Amino acid sequence: GKIIEVMLDGQDVTVRDYGRGIPHGKLVECASQINTGAKYNDDVFQFSVGLNGVGTKAVNALSSDFEVTSWREGKFVTASFERGELKKEKKGRAPDADRGTQVSFVPDTEIFGKYEWVEKYIDNRLQYYAFLNTGLSLLYNGNVYKSKEGLKDLLRKEMGETRPLYEVVHFQGDRLEFAFTHSGEYGENYYSFVNGQYTNDGGTHQSAFREGVLKGVQEFSGVAFSPEDVRDGMIGAVAVKVQDPVFESQTKNKLGSTDVRPWIVQEVKQELLVWLHKHKVAADAMLEKIRANERLRKELSAIKKEAKERAKKVAIRIPKLTDCKSHYGSGKLGDDSTIFLTEGDSAGGAMVQSRNVHTQAIFRLKGKPLNTFGLKRDAIYRNEELYNIMQALGIEDGLEGLRYNRVVIATDADVDGMHIRNLLITYFLRYFEELVTKGHVYILETPLFRVRNKKVTRYCYSESERDTALAEISNPEVTRFKGLGEINPKEFGQFIGDDMRLEQVRFRDLSEVERCLTFFMGKNTPERRDFIVDNLQVDVA
């Protein structure tokens, strides 16, 4: 079918397609029993991500109510489940024109507790599906998602008001599609997909795409430009179709298949050469950007050397960093690796004592970091704090060296803490944007109140949670935490353990970044003054 409908009504989700419909004799098995998918047949599914519909069975098992209906050949079958168990099955006649499959489910609150749907995430994911399937219409609560130019449309959406330095390079073949351009921003930013799956950690296909671009530029120009000069400021997207893809984890965030590299490198290189010869003005603009990157890199080399020499004199280890034993990319523990950027020695000291030494590192900030908005990249090397953060994370030369899967900003919930949080996010978005777009940056939620009596202790993250605790606990004593340093190490262990509450830093598209940073972190403007006057709220005792 060419249309897929997604409906969200409160907690109920319904997905409807207009394809062939699941075979009626196998409907119950496909929705609830392992090893019953059609993807074992290469004639039906040549390019797929999963194996046999495990995702459908998982959703069924994790839903308090799950219903699936299939229409085909003038008949319908409906199967209803509760927490994965079949409750009833219904069959009957249907109009010959009716076809396809519909799934409705309600996530189980006994498993997920109180939850809510993240509209921005749903919106973003549906847009990606539209970009990857040109001609397909996705309908979601009245909104229509459709794309004519695939990944070219994706880059336009992600860049928003950010101006590309030349028109987007775009190629679409049977197994490979890619698009890229350069902007005036720092770093690299990529969106990669395998068989429709968003691989936010990249993988061999993304590396091959980057290498193909490099080789194409070098051959076209006749100059052996360095990789960093070609890629700095580049925003790109690549989608491949691969039979039997091998991913590095069950979450399928990173492709590990090595056999895709040679043909992707070669095809990207050849198609880029064809494009550059056809688009002389854009090719000149691309080469000028690369030469500008080369000049800037050479100017920075002396400053980098000076910063590294200064760091050596301070200490062999990175100051203010208490490291963990396992790092990102070193297996299961590496996936759990986390660094907390915390405010001052008091909070940092409490976290050091209560952390998991295998997976949790602590970096103690000296104070408020420098506001980097509007500054050039040399600001990192001229400022000791910013330089040490970069070195601690291992991201000087890109995300390939990232040492921690999660970078958690842990500041007080007061005005100063919020300011430090904004300064750090500005720093990452300004120079290491991909760290945020790949989902590695989080905010640590810490409790505002402790409500307890002699038998029960409850930590509350909002005034509403506090009020609920006061109503449920007899003879309560309430403590208001003003800063992280007031929480003792024994208590802190509960907030950064298995029940840790994290809020991921995310945004809808790149245009939001530049607009928000300019408004909130740029020079004082009449617009920001008016915003403060119109929105400032003061509690009067």
Confidence of residue 466 (pLDDT cuts 50, 70, 90): very high
Residue carrying the six token digits 């396809």 = 100
Do 250 and 271 belong to one domain? yes
Confidence of residue 321 (pLDDT cuts 50, 70, 90): very high
Amino acid at 32: S
Residue 233 has pLDDT above 50, yes or no: yes
pLDDT at 367: 83
What percent of the chain has pLDDT above 70?
92
Domain CATH for 43 = 3.30.565.10
Confidence of residue 269 (pLDDT cuts 50, 70, 90): very high
Helix axes 280-314, 204-221, angle to 10 degrees: 120
Q: Is residue 387 part of a domain?
A: yes
Residue 421 has pLDDT above 60, yes or no: yes
Domain CATH for 260 = 3.30.230.10
pLDDT at 42: 54
Residue 283 has pLDDT above 80, yes or no: yes
Do 291 and 324 belong to one domain? no
Domain CATH for 442 = 3.40.50.670
Cα distances (angstroms) measured from residue 307 to each of 30, 77, 300, 367 = 60, 69, 10, 20
pLDDT at 314: 52
What percent of the chain has pLDDT above 90?
54
Do 11 and 105 belong to one domain? yes
- Supply the mean pLDDT for the chain: 88
Its domain, for residue 81, covers: 3-117
Query: Is the CB of residue 328 less than 8 Å from the CB of residue 402?
Result: yes
Average pLDDT (395-423) is: 89
Residue 504 has pLDDT above 80, yes or no: yes
In terms of Cα–Cα distance, which of 293, 281, 298 is closest to 188?
A: 293
Confidence of residue 423 (pLDDT cuts 50, 70, 90): very high
Do 222 and 336 belong to one domain? no
Residue 388 has pLDDT above 60, yes or no: yes
Do 239 and 371 belong to one domain? no
Do 85 and 19 belong to one domain? yes
Confidence of residue 389 (pLDDT cuts 50, 70, 90): very high
Residue count of the chain, please give it.
541
Do 418 and 471 belong to one domain? no
Identify the burial level of 237 via C-beta atoms within 10 angstroms of its C-beta, where 0-12 means exposed, 13-18 middle and 19 or more buried. Answer: buried
Do 184 and 277 belong to one domain? yes
Do 173 and 237 belong to one domain? yes
User: For residues 49 and 291, what is the distance between their CA atoms, to the nearest angstrom?
Assistant: 40
pLDDT at 478: 92
Q: Is residue 493 part of a domain?
A: yes
Residue 89 has pLDDT above 90, yes or no: yes
Residue 315 has pLDDT above 50, yes or no: no
User: For residues 206 and 210, what is the distance between their CA atoms, to the nearest angstrom?
Assistant: 6
Q: Is residue 127 part of a domain?
A: no
Do 325 and 338 belong to one domain? yes
Do 345 and 255 belong to one domain? no
Q: Which of 296, 325, 359 is the last residue of a domain?
A: 296
pLDDT at 509: 64
Domain count, the chain: 4
Residue 306 has pLDDT above 90, yes or no: no
Q: Is residue 302 part of a domain?
A: no
Locate all alpha helices (DSSP H) within 133-224, ordered by sequence.
151-159, 204-221
Average pLDDT (398-416) is: 89
Q: Which of 242, 262, 296 is the last residue of a domain?
A: 296
pLDDT tens-digit map of 42-67:
555 556 666 557 888 999 999 999 99
pLDDT tens-digit map of 335-371:
899 999 998 776 677 788 889 999 999 999 988 899 9
Q: Is residue 258 part of a domain?
A: yes
pLDDT at 168: 97
Please give the full DSSP string across 454-488, using - where no structure is assigned.
SS-EEEESSHHHHHHHHHHSSS-EEEE--SGGGS-
pLDDT at 36: 65
Query: Is the CB of residue 243 less than 8 Å from the CB of residue 46?
Result: yes
pLDDT at 190: 93
Do 248 and 176 belong to one domain? yes
pLDDT at 40: 47
Q: Is residue 244 part of a domain?
A: yes
Locate all alpha helices (DSSP H) within 356-462, ordered by sequence.
378-382, 384-393, 415-431, 433-437
Q: Which of 117, 136, 165 is the last residue of a domain?
A: 117
pLDDT at 541: 45
* Of 89-93, 235-239, 251-255, minimum mean pLDDT range: 251-255
Residue 460 has pLDDT above 80, yes or no: yes
Q: Is residue 125 part of a domain?
A: no
Residue 259 has pLDDT above 80, yes or no: yes
Q: Is residue 424 part of a domain?
A: yes
